[in-house]
Amino acid sequence: MEQWRVEQAIRDTFKIDQLIAKRREEIITPYREQDENTGGGKSSKIHPTEELLPIKLAEDPLLNLYEHYKKVIPPVYNSLSGIEMKVIYIYYANQKGDKTKWADVRRETNIPSSVCKNICLSFVEKISTIL
Protein backbone atom coordinates (compact mmCIF):
# COMPACT_ATOMS: atom_id res chain seq x y z
CA MET A 1 0.00 0.00 0.00
CA GLU A 2 1.29 3.46 -0.88
CA GLN A 3 2.66 5.54 1.98
CA TRP A 4 0.16 8.37 1.47
CA ARG A 5 -2.75 5.91 1.79
CA VAL A 6 -1.34 4.50 5.01
CA GLU A 7 -0.87 8.01 6.38
CA GLN A 8 -4.45 8.88 5.45
CA ALA A 9 -5.64 5.74 7.23
CA ILE A 10 -3.74 6.86 10.34
CA ARG A 11 -5.29 10.33 10.12
CA ASP A 12 -8.74 8.80 9.69
CA THR A 13 -8.22 6.58 12.73
CA PHE A 14 -8.12 9.58 15.06
CA LYS A 15 -11.66 10.50 13.95
CA ILE A 16 -12.84 7.00 13.03
CA ASP A 17 -15.96 6.96 15.18
CA GLN A 18 -17.23 10.15 13.53
CA LEU A 19 -16.42 8.78 10.06
CA ILE A 20 -18.24 5.52 10.79
CA ALA A 21 -21.28 7.33 12.18
CA LYS A 22 -21.39 9.67 9.19
CA ARG A 23 -21.11 6.81 6.69
CA ARG A 24 -23.80 4.77 8.49
CA GLU A 25 -26.08 7.81 8.39
CA GLU A 26 -25.43 8.21 4.65
CA ILE A 27 -26.43 4.60 4.09
CA ILE A 28 -29.45 4.69 6.38
CA THR A 29 -30.86 7.96 5.02
CA PRO A 30 -29.93 8.09 1.34
CA TYR A 31 -31.11 10.77 -1.02
CA ARG A 32 -34.83 10.29 -1.55
CA GLU A 33 -36.48 10.92 -4.88
CA GLN A 34 -39.46 13.23 -4.82
CA ASP A 35 -42.68 11.27 -5.30
CA GLU A 36 -44.41 12.93 -8.20
CA ASN A 37 -47.59 10.96 -7.64
CA THR A 38 -49.83 13.69 -6.29
CA GLY A 39 -53.10 11.88 -7.06
CA GLY A 40 -53.12 10.03 -3.76
CA GLY A 41 -52.67 6.57 -5.23
CA LYS A 42 -49.78 4.27 -4.54
CA SER A 43 -46.48 5.07 -6.16
CA SER A 44 -45.04 2.54 -8.58
CA LYS A 45 -41.60 3.04 -7.05
CA ILE A 46 -40.47 0.31 -4.73
CA HIS A 47 -38.49 1.26 -1.60
CA PRO A 48 -37.15 -1.94 -0.07
CA THR A 49 -34.75 0.01 2.12
CA GLU A 50 -35.67 -1.57 5.44
CA GLU A 51 -35.18 -5.10 4.18
CA LEU A 52 -31.91 -4.30 2.43
CA LEU A 53 -30.44 -2.04 5.11
CA PRO A 54 -28.52 -4.77 7.02
CA ILE A 55 -27.06 -6.00 3.73
CA LYS A 56 -26.10 -2.49 2.64
CA LEU A 57 -24.39 -1.86 5.98
CA ALA A 58 -22.54 -5.17 5.89
CA GLU A 59 -21.40 -4.82 2.28
CA ASP A 60 -20.48 -1.15 2.14
CA PRO A 61 -16.78 -1.01 1.15
CA LEU A 62 -16.05 2.33 2.82
CA LEU A 63 -17.73 1.34 6.07
CA ASN A 64 -15.85 -1.97 6.05
CA LEU A 65 -12.60 -0.12 5.43
CA TYR A 66 -13.23 2.19 8.40
CA GLU A 67 -14.08 -0.80 10.59
CA HIS A 68 -10.83 -2.48 9.51
CA TYR A 69 -8.83 0.64 10.38
CA LYS A 70 -10.53 0.77 13.79
CA LYS A 71 -9.63 -2.84 14.44
CA VAL A 72 -6.03 -2.76 13.21
CA ILE A 73 -4.44 0.64 13.84
CA PRO A 74 -5.26 1.44 17.52
CA PRO A 75 -3.58 -1.70 18.93
CA VAL A 76 -0.35 -0.80 17.13
CA TYR A 77 -0.65 2.82 18.28
CA ASN A 78 -1.31 1.74 21.89
CA SER A 79 1.78 -0.48 21.85
CA LEU A 80 4.05 2.55 21.35
CA SER A 81 5.89 4.37 24.11
CA GLY A 82 4.37 7.54 25.51
CA ILE A 83 6.61 9.90 23.57
CA GLU A 84 6.10 7.97 20.33
CA MET A 85 2.33 8.18 20.84
CA LYS A 86 2.63 11.92 21.41
CA VAL A 87 4.65 12.43 18.21
CA ILE A 88 2.19 10.35 16.15
CA TYR A 89 -0.79 12.13 17.67
CA ILE A 90 0.60 15.62 17.10
CA TYR A 91 1.59 14.87 13.52
CA TYR A 92 -1.48 12.92 12.36
CA ALA A 93 -4.39 14.10 14.52
CA ASN A 94 -4.29 17.77 13.60
CA GLN A 95 -7.81 18.99 14.36
CA LYS A 96 -7.57 22.03 12.09
CA GLY A 97 -7.10 19.88 9.01
CA ASP A 98 -3.85 21.63 8.11
CA LYS A 99 -0.73 19.64 7.43
CA THR A 100 1.34 19.64 10.61
CA LYS A 101 4.88 20.90 10.21
CA TRP A 102 7.81 19.05 11.72
CA ALA A 103 8.84 22.23 13.50
CA ASP A 104 5.52 22.19 15.36
CA VAL A 105 6.05 18.57 16.41
CA ARG A 106 9.61 19.36 17.51
CA ARG A 107 8.44 22.37 19.51
CA GLU A 108 5.71 20.41 21.33
CA THR A 109 7.80 17.32 22.08
CA ASN A 110 11.30 18.80 22.54
CA ILE A 111 12.63 16.08 20.25
CA PRO A 112 14.69 16.79 17.11
CA SER A 113 12.67 16.80 13.89
CA SER A 114 14.73 13.96 12.44
CA VAL A 115 13.82 11.71 15.38
CA CYS A 116 10.14 12.66 15.03
CA LYS A 117 10.27 11.82 11.33
CA ASN A 118 11.86 8.45 12.09
CA ILE A 119 9.16 7.68 14.68
CA CYS A 120 6.42 8.47 12.16
CA LEU A 121 8.12 6.55 9.36
CA SER A 122 8.54 3.50 11.59
CA PHE A 123 4.86 3.66 12.59
CA VAL A 124 3.76 3.97 8.95
CA GLU A 125 5.87 0.94 8.04
CA LYS A 126 4.33 -1.11 10.88
CA ILE A 127 0.83 -0.16 9.78
CA SER A 128 1.51 -0.81 6.11
CA THR A 129 2.54 -4.39 6.86
CA ILE A 130 -0.81 -5.03 8.59
CA LEU A 131 -3.14 -3.20 6.21
Mean per-residue pLDDT over the chain, rounded: 87
Distance, C-alpha 126 to centroid of its chain: 18
Residue-range domain boundaries for the chain: 3-28+52-130
**Per-residue pLDDT tens over the stretch 23-76:** 999 888 865 555 565 665 555 555 556 678 888 889 999 999 999 999 999 999
> Is the pLDDT at 21 greater than 90, yes or no?
yes
Would you give the distance in Å from CA 46 to the centre of its chain?
33
Helix pair 102-109, 82-92: axis angle to 10 deg: 150
pLDDT at 97 over 70: no
